[in-house]
Structures are given as C-alpha cells and as structure tokens.
C-alpha cells in the first residue's frame, strides 16, 4: 500500500507569536490572522509487503535518512537524524515495516510554517496507515507537541491550522484553548492582493520567538506593551479584511510590523527592510516578515494593478518572488 499526503504552508498577516501558550492569556482578545498558501509539504508511506519490521525514515529536501530494525528499536533510540518524523511516528505506534518519506517546497528557513505543514502531512498519512481515527484538530496538537519536543522551546498552533484546513482564518486564542474561525473574505480578492517573497535564510532561525517569549514572561515592559499593541492591531485587521477595507488593512499591517520590530533587533534584516521599502514605493500597501523573522519570507499587501511593478522592485532589492495562491482545501491524503 502507498499513502500520500500534502499540506500547505501559511502566511501570517497579524498576531503571530501570541499563539504560544501562555502569551495569549496576558492579552485578552488575542487572535492570529493567517492564510494557507500553495507551497506544500508532502509525505509518502510505502508499506512493506515482505513481512519486514524495518522502519525507514527519509527526507528528500534535506537529503537525510535513518533506519530502525523495528518500532521497538525506534522507541529505544535516544537521538534521531530526523527527529520530527521519529517523534510523530512514536505517537501513532504503527505496526509492521514501512518507508516514510517527506519533501518540502518551502525555501530554507522560510518562516511560513514549513515544519508545521510537514508535521500535519505526516499525521494525516500515519493516521490513514494506522487507522487511528484522529481529527484534524488532534493532528494540530500532536504536531505542536512533536515540534516542541524537537526544538526544546514552547510552540504555538497558528502554523498548524492553515495546513490542516486551508483558506484564510482568525485563530482565536481565549483561555481554555484556541479555535479557528474562517474569515468572511473573498479568497479570490485576497489572492489578488497578497504577494510573497523570500529574503534569504535566517541566521537565527527559531530563536526570535523564544527571545520574545522570555522577555514577556520575564516582565520586560517594552515587549509586553508591544505585544499588547500587536494583539489590538490583529483584532482590527480581522475586521478590515472582512469589510473589506484594504487601505485600512495595509495601515494596520504597517503598524503591526513597526511594533514587531521593536521586540527584537534581529527580527528584520537589511534585505527585508529594503524589500518592503522598495515594494511600498511601487504600489505595495504594506509588508511584514512571516513567522519569527531574521530572514525568510515577507508577505505584502498590494494594489492588484501594481503587481508587476512590485515584483520588479522586490527583485531589485534582492528578494525572490514566490508565485503562490491561496490554498482552499488544506491537507489532502490518498491511498492506493
């Protein structure tokens, strides 16, 4: 049997970082606004037909692999070459041998939730393989926890909802647990107004959110106040998207980015600043880094008729335009 799954990555428009527990508890009404995009992570499971118990894990994009003579051997192993694959496999406790291979279309350190999309794709494939019967929300929480085990710092959930469900959404973050509310926005129109580009691999990928987390918990007033304003802006951006009022949304994104940069000097780079400045001079309403920053992808809100000018300006500033659409479906899994 062969099982194949793929899940989209995401761009976040406002409210990122606040989805990490317990940060949102300190900012009542916190919400993250994001959308799934057509850069995918994929997983393929090929079961053994010869009775072998061997488990083989492979990553095509990183060109790593490792094998275990049995699931029991995988469980006993202390360190993995592909820890995310191994940790999710451990949760589903599959019986029998198989090869699990992953791949990703996202650039290195893109900040668009590539590892989260990968984790959701792996969950979908392993759930089908084992017949576990878990829900998409279960996959989200399994993925979040597996990522936290791998990177040894707290992780949020906003990266996992777009891979699971697709579309554009507000991830509401009340006490007691987050939930997804689909944005009442025309996705065709949003698609015309969103542009994504890559500004280079981050130097400190995965560190920035942890530093902001520690500053909030540690009582650093400037970061606490900045996160509070980011929370307020994200709530307003949700409303602006749903009106829709694109100029207001652009102004809010500019404000969000301004406060986000105040949290940590390594969140932006010279290339990111140059890309956003050039794009705004050529018809972009606003731009901000995706995810933790320090490099990776920038999402821009643009006037549709300015797309060609903005794309040229991005290239001249040293960025690489990524031609994406809004994914409407979320994770897909097939078996044969």
Query: For residue 295, what are the domain limits?
Result: 184-322
Q: Are residues 135 and 205 in the same domain?
A: no
Query: Is 61:104 a contact under the CB 8 Å cutoff?
Result: yes
d(CA 240, CA 250): 9
The structural domain count of the chain equals: 2
Last residue of a domain, one of 123, 156, 180: 180
Report pLDDT for 295.
Answer: 86
171 and 188, same domain (yes or no): no
Predicted confidence (pLDDT) per residue in 161-212, tens digit: 999 999 999 999 999 999 999 999 999 999 999 999 999 887 555 567 888 9
- Claim to verify: residue 241 and residue 164 sit in the same structural domain: no
The predicted structure's pLDDT at residue 129: 96
- In the predicted model, is pLDDT for residue 1 greater than 80? yes
Q: pTM (2 decimals)?
A: 0.95
Nearest to 119, CA basis, from 57, 43, 60: 43
Asked whether residue 243 is domain-assigned, the answer is: yes
Q: Is the peptide bond before 282 cis (omega within 30 degrees of 0)?
A: no
The answer to whether residue 333 is domain-embedded is no
For the range 126-129, what are the long-range contacts, defined as Cβ-Cβ under 8 Å and sequence gap of 24 or more?
A: 126/45, 126/88, 126/89, 126/92, 126/94, 126/100, 127/92, 127/333, 128/3, 128/5, 128/333, 128/335, 129/1, 129/3, 129/45, 129/47, 129/92, 129/94, 129/98
List the beta bridge partners of residue 170: 33, 181
Kindly state whether residues 252 and 193 are assigned to the same domain. yes
Q: Write the CATH number for 114.
A: 3.30.230.10
- Do 130 and 255 share a structural domain? no
Same domain, 140 and 246: no
Task: Give a yes or no: residue 336 inside a domain.
Answer: no
**Mean of pLDDT values over 291-320:** 94
């Amino acid at each position: 049997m062969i099982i194949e799954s793929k899940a989209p990555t995401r761009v976040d428009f406002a409210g990122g970082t606040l989805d990490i527990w317990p940060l949102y508890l300190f900012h009542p009404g916190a919400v993250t606004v994001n959308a799934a995009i057509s850069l995918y992570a994929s997983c393929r499971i090929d079961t053994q037909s010869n009775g072998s118990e061997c488990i083989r894990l492979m990553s095509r994009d990183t060109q790593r692999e490792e094998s275990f003579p049995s699931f029991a051997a995988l469980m006993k192993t202390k360190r993995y070459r592909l820890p995310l694959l191994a940790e999710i496999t451990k949760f589903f406790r599959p019986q029998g041998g198989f090869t699990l291979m992953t791949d990703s279309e996202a650039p290195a350190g893109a900040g668009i939730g590539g590892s989260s999309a990968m984790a959701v794709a792996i969950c979908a494939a392993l759930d089908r393989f084992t017949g576990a019967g878990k829900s998409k929300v279960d996959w989200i929480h399994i993925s979040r926890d597996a990522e936290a085990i791998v990177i040894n710092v707290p992780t949020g959930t906003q990266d996992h909802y777009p891979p699971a469900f697709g579309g554009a959404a507000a991830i509401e973050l009340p006490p007691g647990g987050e939930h997804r509310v689909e944005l009442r926005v025309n996705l065709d129109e949003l698609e015309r107004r969103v542009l994504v580009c890559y500004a280079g691999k981050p130097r400190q990928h995965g560190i920035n959110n942890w530093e902001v987390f520690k500053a909030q918990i540690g009582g650093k007033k400037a970061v606490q106040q900045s996160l509070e304003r980011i929370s307020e802006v994200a709530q307003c951006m949700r409303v602006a998207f749903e009106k829709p009022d694109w100029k207001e949304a652009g102004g809010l994104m500019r404000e969000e980015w301004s406060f986000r940069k105040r949290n940590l000097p390594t969140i932006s780079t010279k290339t990111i600043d140059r890309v956003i400045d050039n794009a705004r001079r050529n018809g972009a309403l606003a731009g901000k880094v995706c995810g933790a920053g320090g490099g990776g992808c920038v999402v821009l809100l643009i006037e549709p008729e300015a797309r060609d000018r903005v794309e040229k300006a991005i290239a001249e500033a040293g960025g690489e335009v990524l031609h994406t659409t809004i994914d409407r479906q979320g994770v897909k899994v097939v078996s044969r």
